[in-house]
Amino acid sequence: MVRIIAFFVGLGFAGVLLWSFVVNLYDNITEPPAPTAEHEFHREPKELHLASDGPFGKWDKAQLQRGFQVYKEVCAACHSLERVAFRDLAGLGYNEAEIKAIAKSYDVPSINPDTGEPATRKGIPADYFPKPYANETAGRAANNNAYPPDLSLITKAREGGAAYIYSLLTGYQNQPTELLKQFPDVKTPEGLHYNPYFANLNIAMPKPIVSDGQVTYGEGAPAATVDQMAKDVSAFLVWTAEPKLVNRHRAGMAVLIFLIMATVLGYMAYQNIWASAKRKVAPKGPLDPDNQAKREAAKAEAGGIAG
Amino acid sequence: MSFAWAKPYEPKTDIGRWIDERLPLPRLVYGAIGGGYPVPRNLNYFWNFGVLSGLFLTIQIVTGIVLAMHYYSYADGAFTSVERIMRDVNAGWLIRYAHANGASFFFVAVYIHIFRGLYYGSYKAPRELVWMLGLVIYLLMMATAFLGYVLPWGQMSYWGAQVITGFFSAFPLVGEPIRVWLLGGYAPDQAALTRFFSLHYLLPFVIAGVVILHIWSLHIPGSNNPTGVDVKDEKDTLPFHPFYTAKDGWFVGAFLTVYAVFVFFMPNALGHADNYIPANPLATPAHIVPEWYFWPFYAILRAFTVDFILPAKLWGVLAMFGSILLLFFLPWLDRSPVRSGNYRPVFKRFYLLLVVDVLVLGWCGGAPRNRSTSASARLPPPTISRTS
Ligand code: HEM
């Protein structure tokens, strides 16, 4: 009885599974999924190499400082950086006085100590970067109903990381004519901008870095081309997403060296301890060098007696 | 006790004898991992993964307790508290990455451990209870990992919780009330987060308890071995210490080395980028996928797409739970007297088929849902099933 029930239950599952498969297959053949503009025209990020890449990666602090400058002068108009405090900027190589000066150049929200009314005061190193908009609604109202996301974690929050940010910033272009030929009804809507690196191809952010020299870099810095600024700000956003990245690389090397040595020593100890046990486990057969040596020795001994 | 020829504990010092008479703890340790536990000599390296699983349970508990010191289970502060751990807590990034990747490596070890047991017939008499307790541990681990993944309250945390608790609503009548009761609301929110944290803290200790039972029940018949043939006498065995402590020792080092490569050099490789976006109940991610260790089950769930007597979703949920529950009956379903797959040519083929099948299912489960993966299930999105 149990067997019969079990058989039918199993048959039920297999049957429904097979039927699902056939239905899906049939659907796929009779009406194959229509190609979409996103599928045909979306592009993978370009290549980007940063000093912080790879297991030995270190910060290029000059580049991070330039990237910070780009953030401050361009992106900060729309994007917050709410998980980074001014004191964290020590990681970019700024000293205490410089950090104090940077913090002081910002007004942060506060309360008027006499009246209790909302007010602002000069920033101190312990403050976090203030947000450009009072709230999400204000941010959307100013940006065609799209909210500019906080940038602190953006390189970790997007597939492709820094390379994606760099590609996005340098990827603005006119909508290709082939696209419009193939998909006439997906013209980039008013207020959006065509960018093949963005998931749905049309992004609400206007091209932020528009011309060479938009940000004035200091002495000894590379020329402030659009490409260079995009790279610098992407590098900076790798830092904001994980300020401890280089500590992690350094600690990792030490831990790996330790573990590899411990493993090798452990393996030698294991060989040593098992040396006595192994031989008893199984005779290794006539071709085992140990056994051959013993046989040779035995033969020599026998030969010696005979001769 | 274990094997008939297991050596009883003989205290060597006066203090040892004094303690042993009052509290036989040294005797317990000696019997469990000391010279008193005779182990077959011929074990291969697949027998190392039990100790490794135990090690990773310990790593999870230790790193987890430290994380819990800095974590807040508030829906509007959880994400920020995890970022504070990453940025401001001393070595916080290490603790968190060790915990997040530790969960993955725990599953790697346990999966190899389970498949070892399957191949060498370790589930057969007299080790049925060892096997079943192991499955209980596995179920508890899955619950713990799911609950833990919700805690950072990122986009995948939130939507994963939404989808997985949605399984319950597949059951007619009682399903939806059960789901609401479990979540403490109609969608994951503060109530869900606090109870998930509470349970995520509790379950690992329950696991530790079941691990003790698992090992206790193992030490009655002793370990199986690659031939599946019972050990004949003492000559076929070696004391656990120092032989197996040495063999486990270096292998632990090797496994931890691979783990360290992930923790220090690619800590987010096994995670999902969307979980670095704070949870947003109004924005559904493009692809909701669970962590890799659930992919095969996710594929089973999505593979049923037609309603036949029962709704498709219920078929999927039943098949998914059934795939694990079935394993509990394995000792009685498999009636062959031969244990080891080495001597069962037909079994060996089906075993390989199972391994390939699980890998294929895993691949399907991780792939974004579309019509061309045959596993594409038209599961109603969670929001729809909630209103229906
Ligand atoms: C069976 C053992 C355990 C497993 C499999 C496990 C699994 C997980 C997973 C997958 C996460 C999400 C990681 C992330 O992406 O952030 C997590 C987070 C967390 N776990 Fe566990 N865990 C275990 C034990 C524990 C224990 C014993 C505690 C505390 C007593 C704990 C405390 C936490 C806390 C506070 C978080 C949130 C912080 C974070 O997201 O990093 N865990 N756990």
Q: What is the ipTM of this complex?
A: 0.89
Residue A103 in domain: no
Which residues of chain B have a CB within 8 Å of the CB of A86?
A: none
Report CB contact under 8 Å: A270, B246: yes
Higher pLDDT, B366 or B375: B366
In chain B, what residues touch A282 (CB-CB under 8 Å)? 42
Read off the pLDDT of residues B231-261 as tens digits, 9 standing for 90 and up: 888 888 898 888 999 999 999 999 999 999 9
- Is the Cβ pair A153, B256 closer than 8 Å? no
Q: Is B308 on the interface with A (CB under 8 A)?
A: yes
Considering the entire predicted model, what is its pTM?
A: 0.90
Q: B315 vs A251: CB contact, 8 Å cut-off?
A: no
Query: What is the extent of the structural domain holding A46?
Result: 39-84+129-247
Please check the confidence at residue B374 and state whether its pLDDT lies above 50.
no
Assess if residue A277 is contained within a domain. Answer: no
* Pocket (CB within 6 angstroms of ligand 1): B 57, 60-61, 64-65, 67-68, 71, 82, 96, 99-100, 103, 106, 141, 144-145, 148-149, 151-152, 200-201, 204, 207, 271
pLDDT digits (tens, 9 = 90+) for B293-328: 999 999 999 899 888 888 889 999 999 999 999 999
Calculate how close chain A gets to B22, using CA atoms only, in Å: 34
> What digits encode the pLDDT tens for the residues A73-117?
999 999 999 999 999 999 999 999 999 999 999 999 999 999 999
Q: Which residue of B has its CA nearest to A200?
A: B286
* Fold of the domain built from segment(s) B37-373: Cytochrome Bc1 Complex; Chain C (1.20.810)
Higher pLDDT, A196 or B372: A196
pLDDT tens for residues A171-199? Answer: 999 999 999 999 988 889 989 999 999 99
A130 DSSP assignment = P
Under the banding of pLDDT at 50, 70 and 90, the label for residue B369 is low
> Is A134 within a domain?
yes
Residue A138 has pLDDT above 50, yes or no: yes
Report if residue A223 sits inside a domain.
yes
Does residue B4 have a pLDDT over 70? no
Query: Helices marked H in chain A — which ranges?
Result: 2-30, 37-41, 61-73, 96-104, 136-142, 154-157, 161-170, 177-182, 226-241, 245-281, 289-306
**B370/A contact by beta carbon, under 8 A:** yes
Helical spans, DSSP H, in A31-176:
37-41, 61-73, 96-104, 136-142, 154-157, 161-170
Query: Which domain CATH number covers A51?
Result: 1.10.760.10
Listed range (A20-24, A227-231, B51-55) with the worst mean pLDDT: A20-24
The answer to whether residue A276 sits within a structural domain is no
Mutate to test the interface with B, among A29, A263, A272, A281 (most CBs of B within 10 A): A263
pLDDT band at A42 (very low <50, low <70, confident <90, very high): very high
- Evaluate whether A79 touches A85 at the Cβ level (below 8 Å): no
Q: How many domains does chain A have?
A: 1
In a domain, A8, yes or no: no
What string of DSSP letters covers A62-93? HHHHHHHHHHHHTGGGT---TT-BGGGGGGGT
List pLDDT tens digits, range B184-232.
999 999 999 999 999 999 999 999 999 999 998 998 889 999 999 998 8
Angle subtended by helix axes B295-303 and A2-30, to nearest 10: 80
Identify whether the C-beta of residue B100 lies closer than 8 Å to the C-beta of residue B92: no
**Sign of the CA dihedral running B363, B367, B372, B376:** positive
Task: Just list the catalytic residues of B.
Answer: 219, 223, 247-248, 291
| Closest to B292 measured CA to CA, from B356, B367, B207, B196 | B367
Q: What is the pLDDT of residue B365?
A: 92
pLDDT at site A238: 98
pLDDT, one tens digit per residue, over B146-159 is 999 999 999 999 99
Compare CB distances from A259 to B87, B249, B253 and report the shortest one's residue: B253
Task: Give B138 to chain A, closest Cα distance, Å.
Answer: 24
